[in-house]
Every structure is written in structure tokens, then in C-alpha cells.
Amino acid sequence: MKHFHVCRLEEPGRRGSASYFKRNQGGKMNPNDQYFQQQQQQPGYGAPQLGQNYGGMMPPPPRTPVMVNQPQQFPPANGPQNMNPYGQPSPRPPMTQYGHSPLPPQAANPNQLAQQMGGMNLGTFPSRPPMASNLLASPMPPQSLAPGIAPPRPGLMPPMQQQQQQMRHVSPQQYPNGPGMDNMGHPVNGQQFNSPRPPTGGGFLPTQTAGFPGHPPMPFQQAPLQQHQQQSHLPPTQQQQGGYDSMGSRYPSSPNYPPGMSGPMPGPPSQPMPPQQQARRLDPDQMPSAIQVMEDDKRTRSGPFATNQKGLVPPLVTTPYLTQDQGNSGPRFVRSSMYSVPALPDMMKQTAVPFGLVICPFAQLEEGEQAPPVVDMGELGPVRCGRCKAYMCPFMQFIDGGRRFQCPFCKATTEVPAEYFQHLDHTGMRMDKYQRPELCLGSYEFVGTKDYCRNNVFPKPPAYIFVLDVSYNNVKSGLVHLLCQNIKSILQHLPRESVGGQSGTSRVGFITYSKEVHFYNIKASLAQPQMMVVGDVEDMFMPLLDGFLCDPVESEHIIDQLMVQIPTMFADSRETETILGPAIKAGLEALKAADCVGKLLVFHSSLPIAEAPGRLKSRDERKLLGTDKEKTVLSPQTTFYNQIGQECAGVACRVDLFVANNAFVDLATIGQVARLTGGQVYKYTYFQADLDGERLVEDVRRNVEQTVAFDSIMRVRTSTGVRPVDFYGHFFMSNTTDVETAGIDSDQAMTIEIKHDDKLTDEDGVYIQVALLFTSPGGQRRLRIHNLALSVCTQMADLYRSCDLDTVMNLLMKQSVTKLTESTPKQIRDSLINRSAQVLACYRKNCASPSSPGQLILPECMKLLPLYINCLLNCDALSGGSDMSIDDRTFNMFAVQTMHVGASLAYLYPRLVPLLDASAPASPSDQDDVVLPSPVRCTGDKLRDDGVYVLDNGIHMFLWIGLSVSPEWIHGVFGTNSAAQIDIDRTKLIELDNPRSQQVRSVIAQLRSTRQRHMRLTLVRPRDKLEFVFRKFLVEDKHGDASSSYVDFLCHLHKEIRNLLN
């Protein structure tokens, strides 16, 4: 390779810069490796809600009252008998009311629901609208009665005076209190002992075995639940086995997880729960289950989903469906947190349900779905409203014989251009409605004219520049050699698009850096690549104009030579001080010189401490995480990277960061470049090529091959009465309306909060149009349009029925993470709890009939709100304390900000799959034929010592292997005779030629294919040191004093709701 020293001559008013090339020599280092963790989805909810539709399609959502502090547990009384085939509530038989004491055995009729419930006194059941599923829970008597108080006789209610006297003798430790609450108060009129029969829901008793974080344990004193055989299709009530509560405190905190963390875990053994307390614990299986909700929605909503109705609630993101675009954009592109918007702003404020959109403009479609068609209007360009500039869409109404159209967003009328005129039929529709995509589809694209281009010039195809840190850390970890070895196969995945019959091929370029920056000439006419070195990094410039960006096909032989020479040139590098800002500036200058848009893929390894612009200081104060001062280390320490990020965004230069660090790199500061340009951040702590190489290569390959829209500007238009106010994601905004990104791909989503500030009418509805101007991979300027129509409601019940909880959680999660740099963790936590309590309290007050204060009423579409809120409070992005590094915490924050609804749901509630239940493929190549087993609830109670489970949350993946798994299975998959002999330091399963090995590898490959990032596999066994990491992702369990279990949080939330109601 030829080397050139590059100098720039002295210019008037500008100092000269001398450049030189020097090669450094260095030793070797064996960096440690970090085990990453993975979360997973959670199994089922008590009893199946067979007659319900969780996608929001059923008319009135059945409600879910949860009666706290009742002595008996009521199994569910729901099922298909409560719903007719069209989702309408069927006439119910006369309802009954259950008393406090059990009936004598001879009084029970085996054919009656009473026997299923343990035999209860029957009475008159109060009528109520079927608004929510009912979950009956029983309050518990005090552990011991006061002197002189006789226990209630079987079949009789205790006198009210006696009940109140009993409550007065209960201490705060005996009676369930929530954190920060003095007590729950006395029973109100004795009604908390009466439990109305649930019309559709299953029963559970939210109880408490440990206090909320920061408070002492306050166990419920509940009598042991009796088990009774259920009728026909209902399984017997299962007794809770207890024991997972003690797991959380057993695992110590650890900031990183280097290799070799196998073997038994030191420390004292976990203490079993007292038998009495175990027996009186609530059975978590009787609580609302995310798994059951997902399975029910799959059963009822799978298949085609037509978007032909205004305000139609889509299936859950976990349900396999095929969108049929019939006038509204599909839910893969745009999801709303509600599909019936309150007519009055006061109603919206009162419910506290957030109104927002999650927009994934280039979402990946399923096979069988139609991609948005491209419409070329020629020189005319897209037809737009004359006032608000909204683009032609199916909501436009043509009047005056087709000569004008009325805009649904601003109500203005606009003349139809002569070239676009068409007559109307007898219904007022254009004759060519179904021949024009913009008149009959919700999503489509327009070809932009010169008016939509920078400087009125059509753009060139985008370029991809690989910027590689060749300092000591990256060389010795194997990253430099690994990337150069795989670059040829990676370049084969560059997106290619034909425009006007010509192939718009992307060009590529290469930059390396340590303390200086190296440019490479890869022109196809050269015999070998040439390198130019810029040593004066204070004022970066582009020394090479011709030959830096080239067609990877034409210059293939030169690129191959370069990829062989780079690892050799820097093999002996001893440079440990690196730069970063000038390297990004070099890529930026290269794109500006070529007058094209593009992407920088930056592979960095250490804190930039070399003397250069963008130099940073180490501030690894991990102890501040989890405290009120954590925002100081989660915010950038300098504005340099924000400024360079804005400069990159201004010329449509997207920056993706691949950080392979073994020490603090201040990701909160350097990551701002990726955030402001619409880029992604990837992190590989303690990178080692043999362990993390596959993950890095797959991440780079997916990043390169994705359809990316460059130089994009997005604007969201809404009809009168609502407007977008807050935006969340990776982008830059130079004003209050336009969202600018240098590049956006199919994995990224932006979340927008909508404000309701004027009265709405049901006749008009709410209309939303998302318009995204971008440059395609082929270099064509286009507009992608997504339209969505929502209905308007005047009843709160309709609002709650139309909510999409997954979208609500995506919005709340991004709002909370954004506030981390402004507020304290306690303020964010309290805000989430208070808002969720207000949402449920408003429903209880306005949509549910009067009932006992001991009941927790959950709307059907939001029955999982307590579960997901607790998962959000405990997730790494929001609550990571000093047991994780600052960079890990920041990485999670960056990852969350770009998640679409499916990714955020997986992040909050990991997927836990029992691997032994999977079916084996016919051959190793038939991965699509693998039938994945149904996930189970994400709790330690579901782990069996003779089972194998895969847990993933989109970022981490674990394979948990029980110690009692059959030796035959272990030998077939791992090639050893027992689980104790498995090498858990491996991150890739060995390929054995047998059905079991093929099955496991196929399942893991299929699970990975559903996620945005390639997840490294971490093997875990019981009592290994890494098991505490795995257990942190069992989100229904309690983990230490800083978190609460699902059961505990539900009790606390119920107390907050009661306070609001009182």
C-alpha cells in the first residue's frame, strides 16, 4: 500500500496544518467478557378468558374487580358462555352474591359454581354493566382475634360490630399497608366482605408478602386457601408453592459480568418463607396474565385485519395478522394509544390516559402484506390542500362536481388541478377512486419533484463510510481483524434500488483512526489501495476527493486488498489514547465533498482522551446511579458532540455507533451524535472476537441491509381540536413541527404525544396524517404518507374500551426515560404510579357500578396496566442502580428511545419459552417449520429443575438449564453427560448431528429473527454466579429492596386508588 503525507498550505487568516504518518507498535491484552442478559415474556393469567377479546374489538369491555382482603379465593366464572359469536354480552342467569363464611359440605351442589368456589353463601347479585373482567379477591382476617371475639360460625356472617372490633385490634404489621400509607382503614359498612360474582373474569387475591421498596414487610394474614376440583374444563385451583420471594435478596449486585463466572454462587443460602406465610400467599397464577391476554388475542384476532373503519382497534402486536389497507394506515406503521378520542378536553384530562402515536414509517411488513405503492404525478407533483398543505388522501371530500375538495384537517376547500380532475359518481365519489392509491389506501408514496430537493437538485445515491478505531484495544480484542475479514460479505447486503431503469448503487469509503485520521483511495483503476494521513486533527479537512467513495462492485479487488492490509499495518499498535470527534468530522467532510447523503458506521473502543476536539474526562461515578444526582452522569459532559451531531443532521449524515469498550467511554456524551442524526447505538462490553464476533457481524449486516430513508423530514398534521406537542426518539428538531433525521430505518419508531385542546364532534372524527419526505436508497426523492382516522366518543367507557395498552406503555416509557436527565428517580417513579392510579380510579368512579372499597376494578383493555407499570419501574433503562455501569444504563436509555411497540413490549415483559416443549424440524434448514412452544409467565415459579428455558427481551438472551434435565437431552445438545459439565462460557451451541441439537439451534435462531438486535446467548444453571443476572429479568418477581413483585405492586396501586376515591 502506498502511504502519503498530506499537508495543507498556509492560507491568509488560517494556520497551516502538517500531517504525518507513523505506525505504532504495541503489546497484547486479554480483555474480559461481559455476559449480557435477556428478558422474556410472561405466562398466563389465572383462568382463560375464553369469551373475551383483548384486542379491543368487543363492545363493552368486561371489568375486572379485584377484591382485596377477602377470606376466600374465587375461581373465574367466565368463558364463551358469556359472549355470543359477535362479541355481544349474552343474557346472564340470575346473579348471586357470595357471603363470607363457607357453606356446610352437604349444602354444596356439585353442578353449581358455588362448589367451585369452596361453597359460599348465595344471595342476590347486584346488577352492573359488563364493562370489565372481574377478578375476585378476598380480604383476610387478622392473624389472631382479640380476646372475647369469637370466630364466625360456618355459613353465617360475623356481626358488623364484631368485624369492626376485629379490625381495630389489627396492628399495621398484621393488616396490609401500602408504602407510605398509615393503614387501609376499617371496613366500610361491612361491604368489603361481600364479593359480587364476576360476569367474565377470573378471580385472584392480590396480597402482600413483602412491603413496597423502602418499607418494612407487611404480610397479609390470610387463611390457607382451600383447593377444590373444578368443573369439566376448569383445572383445580393450584396451591401457591412459595419461595420466589426470597430469591431477589439472594443475588448480590455486580456491575459487569466477565467470562468465567461459572460454579456455585457464594454466600448464605436463601431462607425459606415461614410455612404459614407461604400458605397464605396469593397464587400469582390467579392474577391478570400477559401471556393469557396474548394467547386470547391470537385466538380471536389472528388473520386478515382490514382497515376500513374509523377508530377500529387493531390486534395486539404479538398477534400474527395481515393488514389489508382499505383507507387507514396499518398498525405496523402507526399505532394510537386510543382509537376513540373524548369529545371534551376535560374528559381526557380526567381519565389521565395518555394520547399519543407510535410511528414506524418504514416498518417491516409480513409476507403477504402490500408495500405502499409509489405514485408519480409527474411535473404536477402531489396534490395538496391550499391552506394547511396536507397531501391528498382518502379523507378528502370532493364537492362541486369534483372541481373542488374539502380538507378534513383544516376544513378549507381547494380547487382541483385540471390535470387531476375526475367526475363524481352518484355517491359523490370520484370515478377513479380505486385506480388511485392516494384515494383508497392509507399508506402510499409520492415521487417528489425538484421542489422537494435540496437546492432544487435531485440527490445522488447515498454513501456508506466505515470509520474504524485501530488503537490498541480494538486490535488486541480482535475487532479490527474480524471486521476486515467480514467486510466483503457485509457489503453484499447494501440496499440496491433501480430508479428510472438505472441501478442506484450506494458507494462506500473507509477511514481508520487512533490519534490521527487515515483516508483510503480505493479507486478501481489503482493497482493497490493508497492511504493518506491527516495528523493535524484540530482542523479536519478532506485530503482525497477522487477515489475515496467508490462502487463496491467495481472496486472489489482493491477493497479486498485493503481489508488484508489494515490488520497487518496496525497489528503492533500500542496507541491507547484515541480521538473520536475528528474521526466523525472526517466522515462528515467526505460526504460534504461528495455532495451526497449517507451513513457513518463508527467502531469505537475507549474514552477519547487524546489531545483533540471532543476530548473527554473520566467521570465514572457509578455510585450516583439511583440517587437524585444521577442526572449529572446521565447527561452529556460537553456540548461538542451535540454540536457535531447537529452539523451531521444538517447535511444528512447519519452516525451509527458500535462501541466495544472494556472501560468507561461516557456513552451519555458521545452517543448524542447518534441520537441527533437518527442513528443507533450498539454496545459490546468486554468485547472478544471469539465470543462476541457473531453478534457484531450480524448487527452490522442488519444495519447495512435495512431500508434506510436518508435526509428525512417528518411532519404530523391533525384535524382541528388536537395537535402534536412532544416528540420522542432519535432526531433533530430545528423548529416545533418538523422532525429531521439524517436517516431512519425499519427498526426505528418515533413516539408523539397528542394534546386535546378543543371540542370534537363524532361526525367529524379525528384525522391524522404523517408525511415523511426522504431520499430513497436509489437516490430518489419521495414522500411517504400514512393516514389514520379515529372516532370520537362522549362516554368514558368507550374511551377505555378503545385503548391500546402496548402503545400507552411505549409512550410512558419514552416519556419517563427522557425525564431522567431533568428529574429525580423518585419523582419519575411517583409520577408513573400516580398516573396509573388516576387512570384506574377514574374508571372505577365513572364506569363501574358502586361496589365494595375492597374491589380493584380493572378495565378489560388495561387489565395489564399494573403489571407493565411495575415492569417499567424495574427495567434497566429507568431504575438501573450502582449494580450496573453508567454506560450500560445509558445504552438502555438510547435503545428504548427508538423502540417500536413490539420491541418495547418485549423489553418490558421478556419472553420465557420452555425449550423442552419445542418440536424438532425435519432438517437443520427447516427452521421455519419449528413450532415454538407457548411462552410461560415470566416468574421463577415457572422454572422446573428438569426443564430448559430460553429468556430474551430483545437485547439479552439466556438459556437456563435445570440440573435435573435428562442426561440424554444434555448429551444430544451439549455433548456432555450432565448439566454440571456444560461449559457455560460458550456463547454458541455446538452443532451436533441429531434432532435435539437441530431443534434447539433452530428455536434460538427463530427467536433471534424476531428481534432487532442479534442477542448473544448466555448459558445459565441454578446456583451459578450468573443466575442472579438471569433472575433480574423474571419481571413478576421481587429482586432486592429496590424493586417490588407484581403482587406487591398491585396491592400498593390498589391503596393509591382507594386514596383517590376517598
Q: What is the pLDDT of residues 813-842, one digit of tens each?
A: 999 999 999 999 999 999 999 999 999 999
pLDDT in tens, 1012-1033: 999 999 999 999 999 999 999 9
Would 831 be classed as within a structural domain?
no
Position 551 scores a pLDDT of 94
Residue 638 shares a structural domain with residue 545: yes
Contact (CB, 8 A) for 466 and 601: yes
CA distance 961 to 958: 10
Do 482 and 597 lie in one domain? The reply is yes
Do 1024 and 918 lie in a common domain? Answer: yes
Could you give the CA distance from residue 683 to residue 658 in angstroms, rounded to a whole number? 6
End-to-end CA gap in the chain? 79
Burial class (CB in 10 A: 0-12, 13-18, 19+), 58: buried
**What are the tens digits of pLDDT across the range 626-669?**
999 999 999 999 999 999 999 999 999 999 999 999 999 999 99
Do 996 and 915 lie in one domain? The reply is yes
Give the pLDDT confidence score for residue 852 in this predicted structure.
81
Contact assessment for residue 426 and residue 402, using Cβ atoms and an 8 Å cutoff: no
For residue 503, what pLDDT is reported? Answer: 63
1052: pLDDT strictly greater than 70: yes
Cell 445515491 -> residue: 461
Q: What is the pLDDT of residue 345?
A: 94
Whether 205 is covered by a domain: the verdict is no
Question: Which of 102 and 531 is assigned the larger pLDDT?
Answer: 531
At residue 500, the pLDDT reads: 61
pLDDT number for residue 499: 67
Report if residue 999 sits inside a domain: yes
924 and 1020 housed in the same domain: yes
Average pLDDT over residues 225-231: 34
Instruction: Identify the CATH number of the domain in which residue 436 sits.
Output: 2.30.30.380
Side-chain half-sphere CA neighbours of 15 within 13 A: 7
Lowest-confidence segment of 5-9, 45-49, 861-865 by average pLDDT: 45-49
Same domain as 516, residue 401:
no
356 burial class (0-12, 13-18, 19+ CB within 10 angstroms)? buried
Q: What is the pLDDT of residue 919?
A: 55
Task: For the sheet with 681-683, list strands across it.
Answer: 2-5, 530-534, 517-521, 507-513, 463-469, 598-604, 653-659, 681-683
Q: What is the pLDDT of residues 878-887, one digit of tens each?
A: 987 888 999 9
State the pLDDT at residue 196.
37
Mean pLDDT on 81-98: 39
- Examine the domain organization and report whether 481 and 423 are in the same domain: no
Confidence of residue 1044 (pLDDT cuts 50, 70, 90): very high
The residue that leads in pLDDT, 753 or 214, is 753
Q: Is residue 1007 part of a domain?
A: yes
Angle at 588 between CA 583 and CA 591, to 5 degrees: 130
Let me know whether 536 and 602 are in one domain: yes
| Residue 282 reports pLDDT greater than 50 | yes
User: In which domain, by residue range, is 1009 found?
Assistant: 899-1031
- Residue-averaged pLDDT of the chain: 79
Three-class HEC string of 81-92: HHECCCCCECCC
Helices (H), 133-227: 160-168
Percentage of residues of the chain with pLDDT beyond 90: 65
Residue 219 banded pLDDT, cuts 50, 70, 90: very low
Please state the rounded mean pLDDT for residues 145-163. 42
* Whether 485 and 394 share a structural domain: no
H or E element: which one contains 1020? strand 1017-1020
Do 401 and 550 belong to one domain?
Answer: no
Task: Please compute the mean of the pLDDT values over residues 952-956 and round it to a whole number.
Answer: 96
**CB-based contact 49:202 (threshold 8 Å):** yes
The CB density around residue 508, as the number of other CB atoms within 10 Å, is 23
At residue 283 the predicted structure's pLDDT band, cuts being 50, 70 and 90, is: confident
Structural domain contains residue 118: no
Q: Sign of dihedral through CA atoms 928, 930, 936, 939?
A: negative
Q: What is the pLDDT of residue 545?
A: 85
Looking at the predicted structure, is the pLDDT value of residue 340 above 60?
yes
Average pLDDT on 241-269 reads: 37
Range of lowest pLDDT (144-158, 517-531, 610-624, 1042-1056): 144-158
> Which is more confidently placed, 904 or 113?
904
Q: For residue 599, is it within any domain?
A: yes
- Tens of pLDDT along 894-951? 999 999 999 999 999 999 999 987 654 444 445 456 778 899 999 999 999 999 999 9
Average pLDDT over residues 434-463: 95
CATH number of the domain residue 1000 falls in:
3.40.20.10
Choice among 296-300, 852-856, 1021-1025 with the minimum mean pLDDT = 852-856
| pLDDT at position 697 over 60 | yes
pLDDT score, position 504: 67
- % of the chain exceeding 70 in pLDDT: 72
Residue 62 lies in a domain: no
Is the per-residue pLDDT at 218 higher than 90?
Answer: no
Give the burial string for 84-99 (b: 16+ CB within 10 Å, else e): eeeeebeeeeebbebb
**Nine-digit cell string for 323:** 393488514
- Least confident among 20-24, 367-371, 681-685, 752-756: 20-24
Give the CATH number for residue 581: 3.40.50.410
| pLDDT greater at residue 659 or residue 87 | 659
Do 415 and 514 lie in one domain? The reply is no
Classify residue 466: in a domain, yes or no. Answer: no
> Is the confidence at residue 1057, as pLDDT, over 60?
yes
d(CA 146, CA 1023): 44
Instruction: Give the pLDDT score at 91.
Output: 42
Query: Cα angle at 744 between 802 and 656, to 5 degrees?
Result: 125
What is the total count of domains within the chain?
3
Give the DSSP per-residue string, 645-685.
Answer: HHHHHHTTEEEEEEE--SS---HHHHTHHHHHHT--EEE-T
How far is it, in rounded angstroms, from Cα 122 to Cα 115?
A: 11
pLDDT of residue 67: 45
Q: Are 509 and 583 in contact (CB under 8 A)?
A: no
* Domain final position from 404, 427, 442: 442
pLDDT tens digit sequence for 502-552: 666 789 999 999 999 999 999 999 999 999 999 999 999 999 889 999 999
Query: Is 15's pLDDT higher than 80?
Result: no
pLDDT value of position 281: 59
- Is the model more confident about 724 or about 191? 724
State whether 478 and 568 are in the same domain: yes
